[in-house]
């Protein structure tokens, strides 16, 4: 005889997306590249004096030897001493490790220019020097553009929860032997996309502003209060919130120009200062299950002379929301109040297109507000001044 259940019944719509909350992980099939910090560590270890530094083991000559290595390699002496003490081998796994390698690969492709390889990862790079079109306020923040002609993605379903993010996790592991690796149902997809690399110095100068830090701290505090959010959502640093919101605004605008619906477009946000290498970029891509990939409607718009006007149009779309002034003045929107000035009228997209389920968004950190400096707050005033239109 089954045990009685004392849980309360809750009526929900049969086709509601919240009935089934998938926990999936995706990885891009990209040739493994070393990050800048990993490359520097390898150079330190390969230096002729490194063994002498290790043998000295913190002795009186360590600082002097570390200084010699640091001068030749191009790092500070503390980094060299850290490598000698093995501090760079801290355990690190998960999605961030995947994104570190992807970021390094994209940065290398952008610096290389035209990609003439035949593979599942083909990217034409436009570094800063080759970007001459668009408002100066845009070019001062964008460090490079990548036209992703072909990319392979693998998506795996780890499990799911029912009705609530805090509900019990139901694993999708297909493995039968607990001593072996987990086996999850997966999909292989091919697609195209646009990659935007943002200027690190410009981002650091912007996110050091007190008003910017205070605005982002609102979402940081709310995320820290939710156990499920701490484990599933990225840290909402100022750069993450701004770049994440920019990705959403571009997805909404690209849906008009690329021929794809917004639900067919995906985002991948690389924005963190807590990694060995700071990351600052977004990938907007589409992927299909057939081997032919896609037809180029999205990657064509990645050319700088086409992408800059699209970005300006996306900002102009978000400048006034149909729910303003309620939306722009709000700091408690979205699921678990994890959005600030962002709603369905201006910044939200299909939940399947977003890495965080339409959370951690704020228009003010992009466009600015009465008390907040926006990362791209000077773009629309510059464009309107050039056209002789008042702001």
**pLDDT of 138:** 92
Provide the percentage of residues in the chain whose pLDDT is more than 90. 41
**pLDDT of 23:** 82
Cβ neighbours of residue 187 closer than 8 Å, sequence gap 6 or more: 154, 155, 289
d(CA 125, CA 369): 34
Mean pLDDT, rounded, for 203-215: 95
Task: Please check whether residues 56 and 125 belong to one and the same domain.
Answer: no
**Do 217 and 334 form a contact (C-beta atoms < 8 A)?**
no
Range of the domain at 120: 95-387
**Do 263 and 353 form a contact (C-beta atoms < 8 A)?**
yes
Task: Please check whether residues 74 and 204 belong to one and the same domain.
Answer: no
- Point out the domain boundary residue: 89, 112, 128: 89
Task: Please check whether residues 71 and 191 belong to one and the same domain.
Answer: no
State residue 286 phi and psi, 5-degree precision. -130, 150
**Do 275 and 281 form a contact (C-beta atoms < 8 A)?**
no
- Point out the domain boundary residue: 45, 71, 89: 89
Task: Please check whether residues 180 and 316 belong to one and the same domain.
Answer: yes
- 3-state SS class at 152: strand
Q: pTM of the entire structure?
A: 0.81
Mean pLDDT, rounded, for 32-51: 67
Task: Please check whether residues 60 and 102 belong to one and the same domain.
Answer: no
Asked if pLDDT for residue 37 goes beyond 70, the answer is no
**pLDDT of 36:** 65
Task: Please check whether residues 271 and 380 belong to one and the same domain.
Answer: yes
pLDDT, the chain, mean: 84
Task: Please check whether residues 326 and 279 belong to one and the same domain.
Answer: yes
**pLDDT of 85:** 66
> How many distinct structural domains can be found in the chain?
2
**pLDDT of 66:** 73
**pLDDT of 43:** 66
Lowest mean pLDDT among 147-151, 198-202, 258-262, 344-348: 258-262
Mean pLDDT, rounded, for 321-332: 91
Task: Please check whether residues 264 and 372 belong to one and the same domain.
Answer: yes
From the list 288, 281, 268, 267, the residue with the least C-alpha distance to 239 is: 281
**pLDDT of 91:** 39
d(CA 348, CA 343): 6
What is the pLDDT confidence band of residue 260, given thresholds at 50, 70 and 90? Answer: confident
């Amino acid at each position: 005889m089954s045990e009685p259940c004392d849980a309360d019944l809750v009526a929900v719509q049969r086709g509601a997306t919240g009935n089934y909350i998938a926990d999936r992980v995706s990885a891009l099939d990209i040739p493994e590249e070393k990050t800048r910090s990993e490359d520097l560590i390898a150079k330190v270890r390969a230096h002729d004096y490194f063994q002498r530094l290790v043998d000295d083991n913190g002795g009186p000559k360590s600082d002097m030897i570390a200084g010699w290595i640091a001068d030749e390699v191009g790092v500070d002496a503390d980094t060299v001493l850290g490598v000698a003490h093995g501090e760079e081998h801290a355990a690190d796994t998960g999605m961030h490790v995947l994104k570190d390698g992807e970021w390094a690969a994209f940065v290398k492709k952008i610096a290389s220019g035209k990609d003439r390889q035949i593979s599942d990862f083909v990217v034409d790079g436009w570094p800063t020097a080759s970007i001459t079109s668009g408002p100066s306020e845009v070019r001062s923040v964008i460090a490079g553009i990548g036209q992703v002609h072909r990319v392979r993605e693998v998506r795996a379903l780890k499990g799911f929860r029912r009705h609530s993010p805090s509900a019990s996790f139901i694993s999708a592991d297909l493995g039968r032997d607990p001593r072996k690796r987990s086996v999850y149902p997966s999909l292989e997809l091919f697609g195209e996309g646009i990659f935007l690399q943002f200027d690190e110095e410009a981002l650091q100068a912007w996110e050091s502003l007190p008003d910017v830090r205070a605005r982002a701290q609102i979402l940081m505090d709310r995320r820290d209060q939710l156990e499920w959010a701490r484990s599933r959502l990225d840290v909402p640093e100022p750069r993450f919130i701004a770049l994440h919101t920019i990705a959403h605004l571009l997805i909404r605008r690209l849906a008009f120009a690329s021929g794809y619906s917004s639900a067919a477009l995906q985002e991948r946000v690389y924005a963190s200062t807590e990694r060995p290498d700071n990351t600052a970029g977004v990938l907007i891509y589409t992927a299909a299950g057939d081997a032919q990939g896609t037809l180029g409607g999205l990657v064509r718009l990645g050319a700088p002379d086409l992408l800059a006007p699209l970005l300006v149009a996306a900002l102009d779309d978000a400048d006034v929301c149909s729910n303003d002034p309620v939306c722009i003045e709000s700091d408690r929107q979205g699921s678990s109040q994890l959005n600030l000035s962002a709603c369905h009228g201006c910044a939200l997209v299909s939940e399947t297109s977003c890495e965080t389920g339409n959370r951690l968004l704020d228009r003010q950190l992009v466009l600015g507000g009465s008390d907040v400096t926006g990362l791209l707050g000077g773009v629309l005033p510059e464009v309107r001044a050039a056209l002789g239109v008042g702001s």
